[in-house]
Amino acid sequence: MIFNLTLPTHCLSLVLNDKYPSFHFQIKTQFQTIKSPNKLKCSASKQPQKQQNEPRQSDNSSTNDKRVDPVGFLTRLGITHKAFSQFLRERHKALKERKDEIFERFMNLKELASGHELLGMHRHPQHRIDFIEWAPGARYCALVGDFNDWSPTENSAREGHLGHDDYGYWFIVLDDKLRDGEEQDDLYFQQYNYADDFDKGDGGVSAEEVFQRANDEYWEPGEERTLKSRYEVAFKLYEKIFGPNGPQTMEELEEIPDAETRYKAYREQHKDKPPEFFRYDVVDSGKEYDIYNVVDDPISREKFRKKKPPLAYWFETRKGRKAWMKKYSPCLPHGSKYRVYFNTPDGPLERVPAWATYVLPDEEGNQPCAVHWEPPPESAYKWKNKHPKTPKALRIYECHVGISGLESKITSFNEFTEKTLPHIKELGYNAIQLFGVIEHKDYFTAGYRVTNMYAVSSRYGTPDDFKRLVDEAHGLGLLVFLDIVHSYSAADEMVGLLHFDGTNDCYFHTGKRGHHKYWGTRMFKYGDVDVLQYLLSNLNWWAEEYQIDGFQFHSLSSMIYTHNGFATFTGDFEEYCNQYVDRDALMYLIMANDILHALHPHLITIAEDVTYYPGLCEPTSQGGLGFDYYVNLSASEMWLNFLENIPDDKWSMSKIVRTLTGNKLHADKMLLYAENHNQSISGGRSFAEILFGERDGQSPESTDLLLRGLSLHKLIRLITFTIGGHAYLNFMGNEFGHPKRVEFPTASNNFSSELANRSWDLLKDQGLHYDLLSFDKVVSYMRGPLLFVFNFHPTKSYETYSVGVEEAGEYQIIINTDEEKYGGRNTISSKQYLQRSVRKRIDGLQDCLHLPLPSRTAQVYKLSRILRM
């Protein structure tokens, strides 16, 4: 991309040519499935042999370490900063230690990020529902709801390790109720398929017949043994060791010889046996061997590998939904309201479960509660469309479902799907970014004080309604991104995570570190494995359950720094590695990107960080954080400052180019916008509100104000769109110059929804807003080897403005912001739309164009014919 900056200072031209293909990128993130690093101390009678199908080694191995360079991106960019380099190396070492800590409890990172498959409320095949919740500070746990008349004793966790483990996870089983006249299943572990009316077990074949067939067809002679008691194996082993009349008490138990003595006696006892009898000959000598390298018999091993597990026989006993409904009534019917009850050192309390997927945060003044969402198969939503292909260039339409309607009320998911999605598609965008979708108690926060991480906001509809929205967007070719808030959490006890188990440090830090400096929110403990499981599983949940295509991580500076980003930054690397940097938060972001890109290769992650932390979009293997894009937050601030504080003739063209191009090393990973929701929601004004203001009819002053507003609105959007990186974002309504700000219902406006909507009716008639919308449609499809010429000057026009070009030829205007159909004045005649280059050195190029350039306009030229000079 070549930027030709010439005098006077309010004229700017730039060329996009074939030498720099527009909007083409490919990002690859490698992810190794990590296996348990546990080792087994043993030795064998013969040297261990490496198994053919041995699981892949941990990424902590030296082989993988050679591919990881903690300061790789610094070396590549030629950056030398001793303190920051040392910080990256220490962070890499700490990340390895954190993974070792994780692998003591989880097989791999995928298991860590799949907590949603186990925790919360889940239907079990054996006619029951399992509930698991993490509350290490609680002494007692139960489920209360309308299904048990809110009784804290009827459905509780069992005492001891049958009810909770050492990490504070509570386990509650809700058994389905046997209907009157029905008897218990003959098979204790009878399974049911709740989705299909009938299954194989409904075919009239008894379980005994299936198991007998398994004995006949699957097990070899001597292997078909049905245990009559769970202790039978232990009894046999005990009898083999101590004989039929062995000791019955600890007092009768004599001293047991050590392993080596017992081994020698065993060999002596079986000295007449053939060599193959000792094929599993293993004794502990203290030497470390990998647990997968157990010595075995090659013939037995090959036979074992060829043999499939006998699960097929077991599944033949499974019955269908009709049999289940006939015999049982659900223990927790679909739509039931419930909460989790804890007994804590400070007394009893009730909470909305942290893993609840559907929540009523404030139902008509009643206490918040979760809703069990388990619709019958015939009414459950079924996906129709696949994920769209990831485009080379992202054109993102930022939306808030609740304010997307014309009427002054909360718009639903279904209304958004039916009315707003077609409008977005027609405009030419290829992605939508939703904020305020995840459940939050206070509507006026626009969804940024999340209370329930796993639930869609019930004020817009049901989980299935949101699935339909995502599915229909995919059908229109639109990717769906979520603005995810993992940088802090709402400080709410009744419906959120605050004091969840009665303690102050369950999910959050204690003391000042646990509180956001200015926003009154709570800060997560990113160094806690259980908190990591909650957050990482949350990302995976939205990607799996709702087919989300990407995440924009909101306000990273709030989590990366203990001062929450509210400090003066000069750009010195010392500021990114001092005592105010939260290393645990950075390691969480690295794992989040690695896991998401491994499990969902198509998924896109976007970093919103006002401090532009070094390495945001660098590979994690090279010391970066692994994001696909970063948000250029400076552009909108620059435009807002220009519009409100600087006269038009004082605008700096060099600052515009410098700000919009951002970091040239990562220009292809930059997401740029002229204005997003912040300008019109966070107490500010939209650009249209500033530019057009209050017009009084057809006075000359009003006409001039209108022309200025139209011209600058188009110029700002055009140059932001064309000069930036591979991603562009626009907030809902800004494309047609929405004249009013957004104001959510609060006490300050008597809870009015008058300004919590979008004035789509302005597009019915041709005029200012219709003209701006028409221009936005053109811009959305435009990119390529083009010449862009901008004149931001409020009054100065040029009959012939010289611009250097690389190719001699004829250039045709394809977009002119001054056209009448875009609200312009038609200053350039149709005869001037075709321009031929002349041989004259301008801007370091040997050929140039002499172009008409009216004030406050921009033109886009395309080379239509090459001339050979």
**Catalytic site positions:** 608
CB 434 within 8 A of CB 424: no
CB 755 within 8 A of CB 740: yes
CB 357 within 8 A of CB 537: no
Q: Rounded CA gap, 74 and 250, in Å?
A: 65
Q: Rounded CA gap, 471 and 547, in Å?
A: 8
Q: Rounded CA gap, 530 and 537, in Å?
A: 10
CB 825 within 8 A of CB 813: no
- In what helix (H) or strand (E) does residue 770 lie, and over which residues does it extend? helix 768-780
DSSP symbols for 800-836:
EEEEEESS-EEEEEEEETTSGGGT----S-GGGGEEE
Q: Rounded CA gap, 247 and 238, in Å?
A: 10
DSSP symbols for 577-621:
SSTTB-HHHHHHHHHHHHHHHHH-TT-EEEE--TT--TTTTS-GG
Q: Tell me which residue of 475, 396, 478, 404 sits closest to 780, measured CA to CA.
A: 396
Residue 866, classed as helix, strand or coil, is strand
Tokens read off for 302:
């090959």
Q: Rounded CA gap, 728 and 748, in Å?
A: 34
Tokens read off for 657:
């180019």
Tokens read off for 318:
């499974």
CB 324 within 8 A of CB 355: no
Helical residues (DSSP H) of 69-200, grouped into ranges: 72-77, 82-103, 109-112
Q: Rounded CA gap, 668 and 326, in Å?
A: 60
DSSP symbols for 392-425:
SSEEEEEE-GGG-SSSSSPPPHHHIIIIIHHHHH
**What beta strand segments (E) does 401-514 contain?**
431-434, 438-439, 452-457, 479-484
CB 109 within 8 A of CB 596: no
Q: Tell me which residue of 514, 511, 539, 515 sits closest to 525, measured CA to CA.
A: 514
Q: Tell me which residue of 160, 187, 156, 189 sits closest to 173, measured CA to CA.
A: 156
524 - beta bridge partners? Answer: 508
Tokens read off for 100:
């070792």
Q: Which amino acid is at 276?
A: E
CB-facing half-sphere around the CA of 263: CA atoms within 13 A: 13
Q: Rounded CA gap, 517 and 522, in Å?
A: 10
Q: Which amino acid is at 363?
A: E
CB 753 within 8 A of CB 457: no
Residue 524: phi and psi, rounded to 5, are: -70, 155
41 - beta bridge partners? Answer: 288
